[in-house]
Amino acid sequence: MFGCTFTLRPLRCISLSTLRLPSRSFHRSAIMSDLSVQLTAPNGRSYTQPIGLFINNEFVPSKSGEKITSVNPANEAEIASVYAAGEEDVDIAVRAARKALRDPSWKQLPATDRGQLMIKLADLIEQHKETLATIETWDNGKPYSVSLNDDLGEVTGTLRYYAGWADKSFGQTISTTPAKFAYTLRQPIGVVGQIIPWNFPLAMAAWKLGPALACGNTIVMKAAEQTPLSILYLASLIKEAGFPPGLDKVAFTGSTLTGREIMKMAAGSLKNITLETGGKSPLLVFEDADLEQAAKWAHIGIMYNQGQVCTSTSRILVHDSVYDKFVELFKEVVATTSKVGDPFADDTFQGPQVTKAQYERVLSYIEAGKSEGATLAAGGEPHKNVGDGKGFFIAPTIFTNVKDHMRIYREEVFGPFVVISSFTAEDEAVTRANDTTYGLGAALFTRDIERAHRVASEIEAGMVWINSSNDSDFRVPFGGVKQSGIGRELGEAGLEAYSQIKAVHVNMGTKL
């Protein structure tokens, strides 16, 4: 679902993998060079868009000269074509990353100075946040307010957080016997491969760049072919910040199917991997819950970012005594809050799905829900009341009276699409919440503090929200269980994925 494209190494290497698309005209005011174009976005902001591969601190064309084309999902118009990296380009990028890893300008850089570089990068991102938010919205389709206020805040906050950890990740001395002095060194993994999804390009890049750089790694990053533009612009800021010019680790955020394939490939050479894959997260509403708050949070939990969030609480289970009331409240919140429209408009809550393929995927699940006998309570159709009727817009969709065996209950849809069913007892709710191959997130609503902690403990998920949904924080570990992933990102736990411990044994005089 997230595809294969972009290779970025924040020290000196970014490249895009191959995807052929027909060449058509795109909106631009002028070609600046073979490696950049001057673009004007729908909100009137003009900027210089890099289109080359970023290797050894320079933008360069791909060896083949092939390009991929980015499309505006709000009107299906082409934005720009960027160079697509082939196998040879990726090999060059990896060699550059390996060389940089051994270069004294990076290897011997004091950890505190490494943190200062990260802070400078965060400052530059903040200075360019309007441009970055514009690119993200234009390329991805999410509302500009989300790109600017949520995503860019996440990016700078994450980088600054991990900048503070750069000189605080160290080894320890270990008491053994008087004949031995033992200590550990915490060292970088090496060259790190990072795969970025299309739903939060900049934010997910920061989640991976932050801990990897703090631990002293070099990086080869691959963003999605659907949304390469903001990461290429980020590369120019990485260079401006002053970062100096075969993988040892793979970190991935994307679909479970792709995650499985990465595990297979990594197994051949025992690569260290971290995977954050799919989810079908439950949201439980108990009879004593504040139903108005539950409805509002449930709306955020599934409709935010066009439903294109891996932790979306897309299965809502409601106690049968409050089921009807909750459904009406939820429908009202969706109807009055989920305004679908131009992603650059101030009052838009929901923009288009990221691509035509994703748009058609959501529509196919709507048809599956109808054919399986669920009740379509709202939406269930394309939303064509935006602009000239083009674009990949879908009306917020609610299915009720959903049975656990139905595809729409069990499979990840990744769109503004939610299913609601009822339960009669706590143990039933927990059992049904856990009856899934996924285990990324979950939410529950209750005023009973004992029940809240009891259920949170029993739910099989890497994260549980009590009386909220999807309000994550970069200081708190993020990740899943079962087929929702391996390892954790964010927080102090995120550092573990990007460092390794070496034990040193010092003989203090033992003679043989």
Other CB atoms closer than 10 Å to residue 65's CB: what's the count?
Answer: 10
Cβ-count burial 206-230 (b if 16+ within 10 Å, e if not): bbbbbbbbbbbbbbbbbbbbbbbbb
Do 372 and 408 contact (CB within 8 A), yes or no? Answer: yes
The per-residue DSSP string of 154-185 comes to HHHHHHHHHHHHTTS----EE---TTEEEEEE
For 95, counting Cβ atoms within 10 Å of its Cβ (0-12 exposed, 13-18 middle, 19+ buried), the class is middle
With CA atoms as reference, report the closest residue to 333 among 420, 232, 407.
Answer: 420
**Which region holds residue 479: left if phi is over 0, alpha if psi is between -120 and 50, else beta?**
left
- From CA 363, how far away is CA 441, in angstroms rounded? 24
Encode 405-425 in three state secondary structure.
Answer: CCHHHHCCCCCCEEEEEEECC
Residue 110 contacts by C-beta under 8 Å, 6 or more apart in sequence? Answer: 167
DSSP percent split of the chain into helix, strand, coil, nearest 5: 35, 25, 40
Structure tokens at 452: 């809240």
- 276 as an active site residue: the answer is yes
Number of helical H runs and strand E runs in the chain: 16, 24
Catalytic residue among 66, 225, 276, 412: 276
Structure tokens at 214: 């703090």
**Which region holds residue 448: left if phi is over 0, alpha if psi is between -120 and 50, else beta?**
beta
Vertex 430, ends 424 and 432: CA angle to 5°?
80
Residue 264 contacts by C-beta under 8 Å, 6 or more apart in sequence? Answer: none
- From CA 204, how far away is CA 421, in angstroms rounded? 32
- From CA 136, how far away is CA 234, in angstroms rounded? 11
Structure tokens at 485: 């992933």
Active site residues: 276
